[in-house]
């Protein structure tokens, strides 16, 4: 929860609006989404009408012109109800709005941004491959120039929302050999001939969101769909990830807050030895530590988002975005594990939401760059100072 003394009234009103929507539309179906591993697409227009799906689209292209701080506020509030559904917040940011605004041409912005500004479509980003995770430079998917087209062949895996996306921001190798410089990015309609959507593996958490395999067989993409200059795809990807990583931290804070809320309620209700377990000092210490860690992560999160909104070219942003992602996700894993412990044996059962929170928290330490990679980014930035 934002400190009312630290933000203006508009942000507090925005937070309260998102919270009311999440409590009404998301919280009642969160457990079912997890159990069925299926999220109703009917939620998309609900989020779109509030400007959340398209939150980072600038006003001049018909969007809400949201800030990174607003995106993280919304992400945190929705993740308190459902981590899976929180992926609808900014669902077109990382794969469309951010790369188009920062690396696209004006023609591309006018071509694509008004459509996503309507808040009815989703997009996905195609980075990960069977042999390429943290090492983006190992991408093997190829894009070979053929007249006015690029012809793309290859495979991507774990592509979030690929089954519902209308567009994919695809990263492929446009020059031979290994290295970062030979990678380019393309914005491609998912119904382009030659794109085939494969299966989605069953996951520990993040149920309700599909992470699909994608296959590209002689996919022809016009040259005007190249985002940025050829060979600059890796640099563009890292820039977009730096701007988006705080939202992972925001979701982690939301999950942790939900775990603390549940733990507090349970500690007041559950009795052992004739009194509520919240009366016992060891339980109190766990609850206090959970709250301290959450507030520390939240303070770091909104300090960094304020910097991004104020000066998006600040050279410290990559390091600080990595700090937020790492600290908040590690915190969420610790807090949700402790929440299960507060619940005791009951916390290990699916009857209580803390079991889901713990499973969901884990992936925040892994995707959008593992926390091990984030620590390398932080350390290397420090050593350059």
Instruction: Exactly one of 25, 76, 77, 368 is catalytic; name it.
Output: 368
- In angstroms, the CA 145 to CA 140 distance is 16
pLDDT at 6 (0 to 100): 47
63 closest CA partner among 75, 50, 73: 50
Task: Give the pLDDT score at 4.
Answer: 41
Q: Is the dihedral of CA 194, 195, 197, 203 positive or negative?
A: positive
- 57's CB contacts (< 8 A; 6+ apart) are 63, 64, 65, 92, 97, 113, 116, 117
Cα–Cα distance for residue pair 141/146, rounded to 1 Å: 16
102 DSSP assignment? H
Surface-to-core class of residue 202, CB atoms within 10 Å of its CB (0-12 exposed, 13-18 middle, 19+ buried): exposed
pLDDT at 149: 97
Residue 176, pLDDT score:
77
Please give the pLDDT value at position 377. 95
pLDDT, residue 205, reads 96
What is the Cα–Cα distance from 364 to 248, expressed in whole angstroms? Answer: 6
Quick check: 168 and 124 in contact, CB under 8 A? Answer: yes
Alpha-carbon radius of gyration of the chain: 21
What percentage of the chain exceeds 70 in pLDDT? 97
Strands (E), the chain: 122-126, 142-146, 149-160, 165-173, 183-189, 195-197, 211-222, 226-227, 271-272, 275-276
- CA distances to 52, 73, 103 from 65, in Å: 10, 15, 17
Residues of the chain with pLDDT under 70: 1-7, 177-179
Structural domains in the chain, sorted by start: 9-116 (1.10.540.10), 122-229 (2.40.110.10), 234-384 (1.20.140.10)
* Known catalytic residue at 25: no
Q: Does residue 64 contact residue 89 with C-beta atoms inside 8 Å?
A: no
pTM: 0.94
């Amino acid at each position: 929860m934002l400190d009312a003394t630290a933000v203006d009234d508009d942000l507090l009103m925005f937070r309260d609006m998102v919270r009311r929507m999440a409590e009404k539309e998301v919280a009642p179906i969160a457990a079912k989404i997890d159990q069925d591993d299926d999220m109703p697409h009917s939620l998309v227009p609900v989020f779109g009408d509030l400007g959340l799906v398209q939150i980072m689209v600038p006003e001049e292209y018909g969007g809400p012109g949201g800030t990174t701080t607003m995106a993280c506020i919304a992400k945190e509030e929705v993740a308190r109800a459902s981590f899976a559904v929180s992926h609808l917040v900014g669902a077109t940011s990382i794969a469309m709005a951010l790369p188009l605004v920062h690396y696209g041409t004006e023609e591309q912005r006018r071509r694509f941004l008004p459509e996503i500004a309507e808040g009815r479509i989703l997009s996905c980003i195609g980075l990960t491959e069977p042999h390429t995770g943290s090492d983006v430079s190992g991408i093997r998917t190829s894009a070979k120039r053929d007249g006015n087209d690029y012809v793309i062949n290859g495979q991507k895996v774990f592509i979030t929302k690929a089954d519902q996306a209308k567009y994919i921001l695809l990263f492929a190798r446009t020059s031979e050999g290994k290295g970062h410089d030979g990678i380019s990015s393309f914005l491609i309609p998912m119904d382009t001939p030659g794109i085939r959507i494969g299966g989605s593996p069953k996951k520990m958490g993040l149920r309700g969101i599909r992470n699909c395999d994608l296959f590209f067989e002689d996919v022809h993409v016009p040259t005007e769909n190249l985002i940025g200059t050829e060979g600059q795809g890796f640099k563009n990807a890292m820039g977009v990830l730096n701007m988006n990583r705080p939202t992972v931290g925001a979701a982690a804070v939301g999950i942790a807050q939900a775990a603390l809320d549940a733990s507090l309620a349970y500690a007041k209700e559950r009795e052992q030895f004739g009194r509520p377990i919240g009366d016992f000092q060891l339980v109190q210490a766990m609850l206090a530590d959970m709250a301290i860690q959450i507030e520390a992560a939240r303070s770091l999160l909104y300090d960094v988002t304020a910097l991004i909104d104020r000066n998006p070219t600040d050279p410290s942003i990559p390091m600080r975005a990595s700090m937020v992602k790492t600290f908040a996700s590690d915190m969420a894993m610790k807090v949700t594990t402790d929440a299960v412990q507060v619940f005791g044996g009951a916390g290990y059962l699916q009857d209580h939401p803390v079991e889901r929170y713990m499973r969901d928290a884990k992936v925040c330490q892994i995707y959008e760059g593992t926390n091990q990679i984030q620590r390398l980014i932080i350390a290397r930035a420090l050593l350059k100072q």
